[in-house]
Chain A
Amino acid sequence: MSAEACELAGPRGRSFWVPLFGAWLIALVATAGAVFLGEVLGMTPCVLCWYQRIAMFPLAVLLGVGLLDADGRSIRYALPLAWAGWCIAAYHCLIFWGVLSEGLIPCGKGSSCAEADLQVAGFVPIPLLSLIAFTGILALLWVANKRVKT
């Protein structure tokens, strides 16, 4: 470990930088992936996809800046976004699998949130990918947050 890393470490000696980096990497890949699906593959995002994008895109920027300054407070600012995104993704999954009815949300315009089209490589639903990404981000932010506090 470099001298800089020791400086960042809490009393127990473990740096929050690595889990923060992991959370940021997930957000960055998810952002690039969402833009790729929308702009390159030409899939029209539905309403719920847009709300998840609104939560995910700033995470890629916010956590990135937090990493550059090794700023532990960035975790605090990122958590509400990650939770909001997680809740929308979970709700979207329930709609996608038909547990909840789509009639509850206004999906009239654009593409449907329950459409079978929302799949990558033919079988992985995009809302599930989103839920996995937000879950990973939350878990890593939780680890990073603990290391900042201790």
Chain B
Amino acid sequence: MNKNWAVFSTVAAVVVAFIAGAVIFKDRSKQEVTQALQASSGALVRAHSPVYGNPAAKVTIVEFFDPACETCRAFYPIVKGLVNASVGEVRLVIRYAPLHTGSDMLVKILEAARLQGKYWEALEKVMTPQPRRAAHVNPQMEPIWGLIADIGLDVAKAKSEANSPAIEQLLSQDLADMKALKVRRTPGFFVNGKPLLDFGEAQLKSLVDQELKKLKAP
């Protein structure tokens, strides 16, 4: 019995060490995000970014977004719902974090669509076939153009504009800001400059509610 006890207590010790290590690391990375935010708060919102909802809204959700990320896709209706339900009090600012292979190409297509005023239509179309590309290996770009053709886009024009230096610059600025703010996973949310430290739908909603309540307080 003595020796079995040694085995079980060793397992317990390793499990405790693991959990303690995880807690310490999480705490440290939270501090890192907060510090990065203090150092470069200007990196959060840029004038070039697409905005959903009332541009003058008092509550701003900044989302570091990857058009090829499944979780971003799952969160899209949730975030959209938050903006719509607020009736002009919440806006969404899209920043790009193209972490998947080929995501940068998707971003360029979206930005080209934005130049023709078809951004949100294109975004929803681009996210639809995601499961088929779930492996993220060598995503095919040509079918994407075909997919968004029926939103009334001048595809030839968009194709030439997708590789413009302006879009290239927007993308590299977003990438630089993503690194400065230590966003390593998508979607990365900030509400009125506060990072969503514990990821989740309920946590995001409560962070937005918190900011909305501050507005209503006298």
Give A residues with C-beta under 8 Å from B. 2, 4-5, 17, 21, 24-25, 28-29, 32, 35-36, 40-42, 64, 67-68, 70, 108-109
Contact = CB atoms under 8 A, between A and B. Distances in A.
6 contacts: A4-B2, A21-B7, A32-B14, A42-B185, A67-B3, A68-B7
Contacts of A28: 10-11, 14
A35 B18 contact: yes
Contacts, number: 38
B137 interface: yes
Interface in B5-27: 6-7, 10-11, 14-15, 17-18, 21-22, 25-26
Given A36-B21, A40-B25, A67-B7, 13 more contacts: A28-B10, A32-B17, A32-B18, A35-B18, A40-B22, A41-B25, A42-B184, A42-B185, A64-B7, A67-B3, A68-B4, A68-B7, A108-B137
Nearest to A33: B18
A50 B137 CA distance: 19
Contacts of B18: 32, 35-36
Interface of B: 2-4, 6-7, 10-11, 14-15, 17-18, 21-22, 25-26, 137, 184-185
A9 to B, nearest CB: 13
B3 A70 contact: yes
Q: Which 9 A-B pairs have the closest CB atoms?
A: A40-B22, A67-B7, A32-B14, A32-B18, A40-B25, A28-B14, A68-B4, A2-B2, A68-B7
Nearest to B7: A67
Nearest to A65: B7
Contacts of A35: 18
B134 to A, nearest CB: 13
A36 B20 CA distance: 11
Given A32-B18, A64-B11, A4 B25 contact: no
A97 to B, nearest CB: 28
A108 B137 CA distance: 9
A28 B8 CA distance: 12
A138 B88 CA distance: 66
A2 B7 CA distance: 16
A28 B11 CA distance: 8
Contacts of B185: 42
User: Which residue, of B10, B17, B26, has the highest number of chain A Cβ atoms within 10 A?
Assistant: B10
Contacts of A42: 184-185
Contacts of A25: 10
A120 to B, nearest CB: 12
B137 A109 contact: yes
Contacts of A36: 18, 21-22
B206 to A, nearest CB: 25
Contacts of A5: 3
Contacts of B14: 28-29, 32
Contacts of B10: 25, 28
B29 to A, nearest CB: 9
Nearest to A17: B3
Nearest to B135: A109
